[in-house]
Structures are given as structure tokens and as C-alpha cells.
Amino acid sequence: MHRPRDLTMNRKRTSSFGQKPHKKRTRKWLSAKSIHYRGSVVVEFALIFPLLLFIVFSIIECSLALYDKAVITNASREAARAGIVLRTPKLSKTQIANVARDYCQNNLISFAQNVSPTVLVTDNGTNTFGTPLSVNVSYVYTGLGFGQLINALSGPITLSAITTMNNE
């Protein structure tokens, strides 16, 4: 007759999670080969780290420039909209320019102390229905660090936006 096997007696000893038993670890970390690997990792990191920093700061710099470009575009739109809205009396060119300057003062990210964009308002002088009003806002971008380096090498970076709307 066939007798059932006793499973508890022949089972291999395992850890509590069903893994193989732990082997005794040797001190490999002191070998010359592992020290060489650690040294090469440090050298590779020292070579790659400046490149990584350059990429990160370049991304930040480009993001700031794009944000400032969007702010200048919105400032020209706000000023043009304020100038064409049907109201009595219509806003003067200085008041329209002040709308754009105020918008830029509140929203531009600049690392320079003086944030003053140049605003040029052009119309045909009649301010009648259907005549165009144009607002040109330009700003010299100073940048965080790379922007100032580019300014020194190639001249200033000027961001500008022109919005033209018809009077109501």
C-alpha cells in the first residue's frame, strides 16, 4: 500500500516570505574592483552634473521668457480693448498706454529693478466706428543668468507684441 508523504519533514527551510534561506555575506565592498567602480561613478557624475544644471537652468530661462512674452501680448490686448470700447469720452493715448504699463507692472517676472515696457499707441485720430487702433508693447528681457549672458554676447533680447482692434 502507498503511504502519504509527511510534508513537514522533507520541506526545505525558507524564510517567512517563502524565499530561499539567506547566505552569509562576505565583505566584497572592500575589494579593489568595487573601489574602482565607486571612483568611476564619482567621475561620471562630476562630468554629467554641470551639463544637467545647464539643461535645467536653460529650461527655466526659456520658460520665463515665454511667460513674459505672454504677459506682453496680454498687456497689448488689454490696452487695445480699453481704447476701443464705446464710452464717452474715449481714453486718450496716454491712458491707453498706462493700461498696458500697469498690466506689465503687475504681471511681468523680471530680475531687473526697473520694469518699464515701451508702449506705442497708434490710431488715425478720429476714433470713429470701424477705425483701427494699434497698441505696440515692447520689453527688453534681462533674464535670470543665461539671459544676461546672451545679452552680453549678442545684444539685448527684445520681446514685443502688437495688437490691432477696430473701434466700436
Q: In which band, very low, low, confident or very high, does the pLDDT at 19 lie, cut at 50, 70 and 90?
A: low
Q: Given a cut of 90, is residue 129 above it in pLDDT?
A: no
CA-based R_g, the chain, Å:
34
d(CA 161, CA 19): 67
Q: Given a cut of 60, is residue 1 above it in pLDDT?
A: no
| Higher-scoring residue by pLDDT: 15, 40 | 40
pLDDT on residue 69 = 95
Is 102 in contact with 82 (CB distance < 8 Å)?
no
User: Cell numbers 470713429 label which residue?
Assistant: 128
d(CA 28, CA 25): 8
pLDDT on residue 94 = 92
pLDDT on residue 63 = 92
Peptide bond into 4 cis (omega under 30): no
Predicted TM-score (pTM) of this structure: 0.70
What 3-state class would DSSP assign to 137?
A: strand
For residues 154-160, give the mean pLDDT. Answer: 87
d(CA 72, CA 5): 84
pLDDT on residue 8 = 54
pLDDT on residue 86 = 79
Q: Given a cut of 80, is residue 152 above it in pLDDT?
A: no
- How far is CA 106 from its chain centroid? 19
d(CA 43, CA 70): 42
Give percent of the chain above pLDDT 70.
76
pLDDT on residue 165 = 93
User: Using one digit for the tens of pLDDT, what is the confidence trace for 40-53?
Assistant: 888 899 999 999 99
Instruction: Give domain limits for the chain.
Output: 31-166
Helices (H), 11-142: 32-84, 93-107
Least trusted range by pLDDT, from 32-41, 111-120, 148-157: 32-41
Please name the residues in contact with 159: beta carbons below 8 A apart, sequence gap of 6 or more: 65, 68, 69, 72, 138, 139, 140, 141
Q: In which band, very low, low, confident or very high, does the pLDDT at 87 lie, cut at 50, 70 and 90?
A: confident
Task: Give the best-scoring range by mean pLDDT among 14-23, 28-37, 61-70.
Answer: 61-70
